[in-house]
Amino acid sequence: MGSTISEPIRDPGTQVSPMYPHDLTGISFNDPDIHVNPHEASSMIERYSSFLELLTANTAKGMVMPPIREYAPPPPASALLIRPRDVSPEEDIFSDPVQSMRIVAVIPAYNEEPTIGTVVLQTRVHVDHVIVVDDGSNDDTARVATLAGAEVIQNPVNLGKAQAIMKGFDRAKEYNPLAVVMLDADFQHNPAEIPDLVRPVLYGNADLIVGSRHLNGNNKIPTHRVLGQKTLNLVTNAGSGSKSTDTQSGFRVLGRRALMNLDFYSEGYNIESDMLAHFTQRNLVIKEVPIGVSYNVTNGHKKNPISHGLDVLGHIIGIIGYKRPLISFGIPGAVLTLFGAGMTIYTVTELYTGGAFHSVMFVGGITMLILGLLLLTTSLILNSLVQVMKVDK
């Protein structure tokens, strides 16, 4: 078992000076369970000190978001270099004496300078490595993320969330991790909840964990967002066959099977829906864990919620049309056929019983009947093609 490291008790009035690289001289570590590379420690402390200076400067300018939740403070730089030995997975699933990159976090970011540093620091408390994909930002997102200790991948132009996430996943797979955490850079998600999401994946109980905002009764979600999310949930679940309570959640954890099945294409903010649809088709185990969420963030959503919702909705309807033609074409076709047949029969019956001939209703009924039959025929043909493609695969 590794030894327990506790902070020394200091007098409240004592001033504690920050540590800089030259302060390492003369420091010795006698605990056999603590392994510190002086060069790594010096580099880490230097980056951390630079980040603190930048953080202080941004705070003076009012650029840093005030705390909106009680988060655990980031550990000192030296603590990030400590790895306990001989700890069984049952006692601490986040310690592994063999594999040092078992948990990797991927954070897509676009103009997130005010929050990315804090998100990276708090995420590093719970993972082994953080990858930030700077998606063509116009500010110092990449610099702040680097100073906070993240590996930064920069896109020369803004390619969209889906492409940024996929690029981060490709890089994360090079570390052969057991789990990859996906979260937003705007501080809507609480990094302290990462262990709750990672645990089922590490224990082999799930391939994908989705953090659900709707399973947590304490979340204060605006009404228009609730309505939009419920609508997208309904359509996504109908099109993909999944049973998710939060299909649009960006706080997720992917296990190794999920990482090996990232062979699908996605654009923009459709990544969450496309991932669910693809993994459901591959029969991966998908589970949900309650998470908190806050919309009181400095850098809100980069796109209008209504426009974002309509884009995702249109994309999902397209998926349904491709994968489930009997639903997308067959049901509307059946409805039109019934209404058209009813209107036609009514006008003909009225004519033969001596009543007036409703020409407009008759033409409308015939038109609806023809369109309905065409849609029904199309749905049957497309469904046959889908079945043939499944057999070929």
- Amino acid of residue 368: M
Stretch 144-157: mean pLDDT, rounded? Answer: 95
What gap in Å lies between CA 347 and CA 367, rounded to an integer? Answer: 14
Alpha-carbon torsion 135, 129, 52, 12, what sign? positive
Has residue 62 got a pLDDT over 50?
A: no
Quote the CA–CA distance of 377 and 384 in Å, as a whole number: 11
> CB under 8 Å to 123, separation ≥6 — which residues?
105, 107, 130, 181, 183, 191, 194
Q: Which residues pair with 253 in a beta bridge?
A: 181, 209
331 beta partners:
none
pLDDT at 390: 56
> Tell me, what's the pLDDT at 19?
43
pLDDT at 53: 64
pLDDT tens per residue across span 301-358: 555 566 655 565 565 566 666 667 777 777 888 899 999 898 888 888 888 887 777 8
Q: Are 183 and 123 in contact (CB under 8 A)?
A: yes
Distance in Å from the first CA to the final CA of the chain: 50
Backbone angles phi, psi at 354, to 5 degrees: 90, 5
Long-range pairs for 11-18: beta carbons < 8 A, 24 or more residues apart: 18/49, 18/52
Name, in order, each residue with C-beta under 8 angstroms of 285's C-beta and a sequence gap of 6 or more.
205, 206, 207, 208
Q: Give the burial class of 95: count Cβ atoms within 10 A of its Cβ; 0-12 exposed, 13-18 middle, 19 or more buried.
A: middle
Provide the strand spans (E) within the chain: 103-109, 129-135, 151-155, 179-182, 208-212, 252-255, 286-290
Q: Which residues contact 73 (CB under 8 A, 6 or more apart)?
A: none
Q: pLDDT-derived band of residue 88, with 50, 70 and 90 as boundaries?
A: very low
pLDDT bracket for residue 17 (50, 70, 90): very low
Taking only the tens place, the pLDDT of each residue in 241-282 is: 788 899 889 999 999 999 999 999 888 888 898 899 899 989
pLDDT digits (tens, 9 = 90+) for 160-209: 999 999 999 999 999 999 999 999 999 899 999 999 999 999 999 999 99
Structural domain boundaries of the chain?
95-322, 324-392
Burial bucket for residue 60 (CB in 10 Å: 0-12, 13-18, 19+): exposed
**Percent of the chain surpassing pLDDT 90:** 36
Written as one letter, the residue type at 373 is L
Does the CA dihedral 312-317-319-324 come out positive or negative? positive
Q: Which single residue is written with the structure tokens 């296990």?
A: 255
Residue 314 has a pLDDT of 60
The pair phi, psi for residue 37, each rounded to 5°, is: -90, 115
Please tell me the predicted confidence (pLDDT) of residue 299.
Answer: 64
Paired strand residues for 345: none
Of 22-26, 348-352, 366-370, the range with the highest mean pLDDT is 366-370
Task: Output 315 or 288, whichever has higher pLDDT.
Answer: 288
Residues with Cβ within 8 Å of residue 127, at least 6 apart in sequence: 103, 104, 105, 181, 194
Is 60 exceeded by the pLDDT of residue 64? Answer: no
Contact 178/103 with Cβ under 8 angstroms? yes
Q: What is the pLDDT of residue 21?
A: 43
Task: Please state which CATH number belongs to domain 95-322.
Answer: 3.90.550.10
